[in-house]
Amino acid sequence: MILGEHIFLGYLPVLIVVTISLVVGIVILILNKLLSQKPLEITPSKYDTYECGVPYQGNARQQFSVRYYLVGIIFLLFDVEVVFLYPWSMIYKQVVQQDLFIVLEMFVFMFMLFGAYLYLRFRGALDWD
- Domain ranges (residues) in the chain: 66-123
pLDDT at 113: 87
End-to-end C-alpha distance for the chain, whole angstroms: 71
> 3-state class of 54 per DSSP?
strand
pLDDT at 29: 96
pLDDT at 10: 78
CA 69/CA 74 separation, integer angstroms = 9
Q: Contact at 8 Å (CB) between 109 and 84?
A: yes
pLDDT by residue for the chain (129 residues), tens digit each?
555 566 777 788 899 999 999 999 999 999 999 998 877 788 877 777 666 766 667 776 777 777 888 888 888 888 888 888 888 888 877 877 777 888 888 889 889 989 988 998 898 887 776
Greatest CA separation for the chain: 72
Q: Contact at 8 Å (CB) between 28 and 21?
A: no
pLDDT at 20: 98
Give the number of other CB atoms < 10 A from CB of residue 101: 10
